Homo-oligomer: A and B are copies of this chain.
């Protein structure tokens, strides 16, 4: 196959002036027509529209934005694309932005502070109007100073003392509810797999677990708290699970702060010939697609990812339009406990 290589001499692109000439009006009138100003007589507008049609004119958006001092672009920074949790939030962000005629520059920060910074600098250089931050690894000092000058919304995670709006669920409450659920099933030997990061969700889930255990007067064993890596990778979860399942006595339930980790626990259990939930109860967090692909379907906490993404956009644009009466600077959306198959009563239920 050989192609005729087109030399894309796009040629002098049609601009507003040529449209004006063609329509026999001034550029101002063309511009007004373009922006649906009511000050243009219908008959004139019609003439302009015809000229636009004939010449195939498309307004130069950057020029317009330069003049209006906006970019109609928002940034969405995520530490990776591989976690379906982020994918769903990004989908929500994209949907809402689409409706509001904004474009989303999706940035994969890889969890590196320097790429986070480079992306955020696009705000200073007027390439984007605002940014939505999913889980990030900031040096908070820098971010705090930055946030004072820029429009930023935090989604899922938030830095508590950062004065910018956020959207998330009540991680603490959800965790307490989940752990109480396990306790009510009869579990007392409940272990936990967290992650090696400083996310507020990680900290709140840890605290929720501790408080739920304390409330029932159940002792918490330090070696039943293992850490996966910062990004909840399957491999790191596997390692944590193997350690946990090697303790004696073994926990009867493992509360994981992400679904992927829960799946890794199930995988580790499978490897050891332990049945789930028969011999081991496992719970996840987030409710991503993975959870109902193979049995046992995962018992987990569902987050309204899509809605969280959408809400972030709204919050951000509220800020951009300087509607200062915008309420709910810190927004919490409802979560839901999904009872499925990976959690059941322990085989030799101890009394509470």
A residues adjacent to B (C-beta < 8 A): 1, 3-8, 10, 58-63, 65-66, 71, 73, 80-82, 84, 87-88, 90-91, 94-95, 98, 103-108, 115, 121-122, 124-127, 148-151, 163, 234, 263-264, 266-267, 270, 289-290, 293-295, 322, 324, 329-330
Contact = CB atoms under 8 A, between A and B. Distances in A.
Contacts of A106: 90, 94, 104-106
A61 to B, nearest CB: 4
Contact of A295 (B5, B62, B270, B330): B270
Contacts of A115: 98
Nearest to A65: B62
Contacts of A295: 267, 270
Nearest to A270: B295
B71 A80 contact: no
A61 B125 contact: yes
Contacts of A98: 108, 115
Nearest to A151: B8
Contact of A149 (B5, B8, B294, B322): B8
Contacts of A62: 62, 65-66, 71, 126-127
Query: Most chain-B Cβ atoms within 10 A of its Cβ — which of A60, A80, A115?
Result: A60
The secondary structure that dominates the A interface is mixed
A126 B59 CA distance: 9
A295 B103 CA distance: 41
Contacts of A124: 58
Nearest to A59: B125
Contacts of A87: 81-82, 87
Contact of A81 (B7, B91, B263): B91
Contacts of A264: 293
A126 B61 CA distance: 6
B322 A293 contact: no
Contact of A61 (B82, B88, B127): B127
A71 B127 CA distance: 10
Given A98-B115, A106-B106, A3 B163 contact: yes
Nearest to A56: B124
Given A81-B87, A82-B87, A106-B106, 11 more contacts: A1-B330, A8-B150, A59-B125, A62-B66, A63-B66, A63-B126, A81-B90, A82-B91, A82-B289, A91-B108, A290-B293
